[in-house]
Amino acid sequence: MHSGATACGRLVPDWLLIMPAEISPVESLFSKKSPDTKIQTLAFWVFLFAFAVRLAIGLACLSNLDADSDAYRRLSQSIHKTGTFGLLDSQGDPNATAYRPPLYPWLLSWFGGLDTDRLPIALLHAVLGGLTVALTFDIARRLGLSRNVSLFASALVLVDPILVRQSTLVMTETLATFLGLAIWWATMVFGRSQSKRGLGLLFEGAAIGVALGLACLCRPTVLAWCVLWGAIELRRKPLRASGLLLGCLLVLFPWWVRNYSQFGQGVWTTTHGGYTLLLANNPILYEHWQSSPSREWDEDRFHDWWATKHAEKFNHTPADEIALDAFANQLGFETIRNNPGLFAKACFIREGWLWAWWPSQRQADWKAQWVVGLWYAITSIGALLGLRRLLAVDRKQLVVWLPALTLAASLCIVHAVYWSNMRMRAPMIPIVSLLAVHCCCVPTIGRYSDVRMQ
């Protein structure tokens, strides 16, 4: 119901009348001034505090950075010593690979000349973590949430168990989470100007597409986000959608050319996709799922089965990774075709693994399981309520949330088919935190939240 009136006699909603007296409704809605300096200063302090906390955690867990389970450090050493993205053999010669995405190892290669890279990696992760927390705060403010609520949302991200754990490991989640959130934030910054037409929209989309391409070189699942987001955007603003897709391809094309020159076949993402498909769709795991959706399955039996299949296919000789990736894809799709009903069930199970509230028994003791489980039960339920409210009540904000929601949807779609576990949802955690606080807070329009909703 409308009960107030502006000086021009126009009726305004009641909730506009509760804004601070020094900010008029007209100024709040139509001012194109830069964000309030106090908020920018506060965001900087949020970054410094988050950086200090994440660095303290990193230093306390510095020994965790010795592990290199996914060979990112070894890849970075090859880049530093030889300029080749690959793994060094016993003679120090590089063997080119496309098994892992290149961006994170390339960043680590900056530290290759140091005696130890543990402290620099801890610093890098602390910076990325601090920026992620500060961006969460800034996005919350741009969504119209109050200062205290925005601080609460950023605090949820700061101490999130998955993000904290992954920040102490040589893994891509810290970088991937920052990149995903930075892309959403960038769309809000661009969205403050509604005057762009024609080439302006194309260049805006291309800039975002370049960022998406970089994110693809960190986590290949971002390519699904780019396609889904671009397809939806195509109906709204075709020029921006075209720029988005072209910008992404522009960044990925040199990687494709490099892979073509090395392996005789272009690869847009990595040669790891076949294995992740097979890991999620193999006879041993399907046999386990017939009786239980538990995450406690016999992985050793799978690895033995895969080694046998590999030996039979390639006659006990090393296979190039392109052929190996194709063979893994073949076996994964065979499992799916031979068990269509179980595959449908498996999709729901993999979603459950992706959104699990507590770590498995092999990852944590019962106390940690309870603490982490309670944390994610509260934040997940809050996020569901926030999503319901967004869809049912605050639909005008959907266009602002579109990048975030398509990111979450694309990850859910990919990991319904490919391998899935809790850490795979790391890039969605800031989105979940913002949805959780959105469920119980009324956004207000102020000088800082001037992102247009149309």
| Rg, Å, the chain Cα set | 24
> Which helix (H) or strand (E) covers residue 86, if one does?
strand 86-88
Alpha helices in 168-221 (DSSP H): 173-191, 199-216
Query: Residue 194: its pLDDT value, please?
Result: 57
More confident residue, 32 or 217: 217
Reading phi first (left if > 0) and then psi (alpha if -120 to 50, else beta), residue 219 is in beta
Q: Taking 70 as the threshold, does the pLDDT of residue 192 lie above it? A: no
Q: How confident is the model at residue 201 (pLDDT cuts 50, 70, 90)?
A: confident
6's tokens: 């502006």
Query: Residue 112: its pLDDT value, please?
Result: 84
Residues 270-295, mean pLDDT to the nearest whole number = 96
Query: Residue 306: its pLDDT value, please?
Result: 95
Across the chain, what does the average pLDDT equal?
88
Residue 130 near residue 54 (C-beta atoms within 8 A): yes
234's tokens: 């195509």
23's tokens: 């900010």
| CA gap 231, 233 in Å, rounded | 6
Q: What is the pLDDT of residues 49-106, one digit of tens each?
A: 999 999 999 999 999 999 999 999 999 999 999 999 999 988 889 999 999 999 999 9
| CA gap 151, 138 in Å, rounded | 9
Query: Residue 11: its pLDDT value, please?
Result: 38
Q: What is the pLDDT of residues 247-282, one digit of tens each?
A: 999 999 999 999 999 999 999 999 999 999 999 999
Residues 6+ apart with CB under 8 A from 48: 130
Q: What is the pLDDT of residues 376-394, one digit of tens each?
A: 999 999 999 999 999 988 7
Q: Are strands 11-13 and 2-5 parallel, antiparallel or unpaired?
A: antiparallel
**Residue 200 C-alpha from the chain's centroid:** 27
- Coil, helix or strand at residue 4: strand
Query: Residue 411: its pLDDT value, please?
Result: 97
Q: Taking 90 as the threshold, does the pLDDT of residue 200 lie above it? A: no
Return phi, psi of residue 60, to 5°: -65, -25
Query: Residue 335: its pLDDT value, please?
Result: 97
| Among 217, 222, 184, 186, CA closest to 433 | 184
Burial class (CB within 10 angstroms; exposed 0-12, middle 13-18, buried 19+) of 106: middle
More confident residue, 454 or 439: 439
| CA gap 295, 345 in Å, rounded | 15
Residue 346 near residue 287 (C-beta atoms within 8 A): no
DSSP class of residue 271 equals S
Residue 438 near residue 9 (C-beta atoms within 8 A): no
Other CB atoms within 10 A of residue 145 CB = 24
80's tokens: 């530093």
- Coil, helix or strand at residue 422: helix
Q: What is the pLDDT of residues 3-45, one digit of tens each?
A: 444 434 333 333 333 334 444 443 443 344 445 677 888 999 9
Number of H helices, E strands in the chain: 19, 4
**Residue 367 C-alpha from the chain's centroid:** 28
Query: Residue 2: its pLDDT value, please?
Result: 43
Cα distance between the two ends of the chain: 21
Q: Give the domain ranges of the chain.
A: 1-30, 31-438
Query: Residue 21: its pLDDT value, please?
Result: 40
Percent of the chain at pLDDT exceeding 90: 73
DSSP of 340-385? HHHHHHHHHHHHHHHT-SS--TTT--HHHHHHHHHHHHHHHHHHHH
Q: Taking 80 as the threshold, does the pLDDT of residue 449 lie above it? A: no
Quote the Cα angle for 207-448-182, to 5°: 30
More confident residue, 116 or 257: 257
The pTM score is 0.88
More confident residue, 227 or 397: 227
Query: Residue 319: its pLDDT value, please?
Result: 74
Strand partners, 2: 13
Q: How confident is the model at residue 442 (pLDDT cuts 50, 70, 90)?
A: low
Task: Give CB contacts under 8 A, 24+ apart, made by 52-57.
Answer: 52/126, 53/158, 53/159, 54/125, 54/126, 54/129, 54/130, 54/158, 54/164, 54/167, 55/122, 55/123, 55/126, 57/164, 57/167, 57/168
Lowest mean pLDDT, pick from 121-125, 191-195, 345-349, 413-417: 191-195
Lowest mean pLDDT, pick from 16-30, 228-242, 331-345, 418-432: 16-30
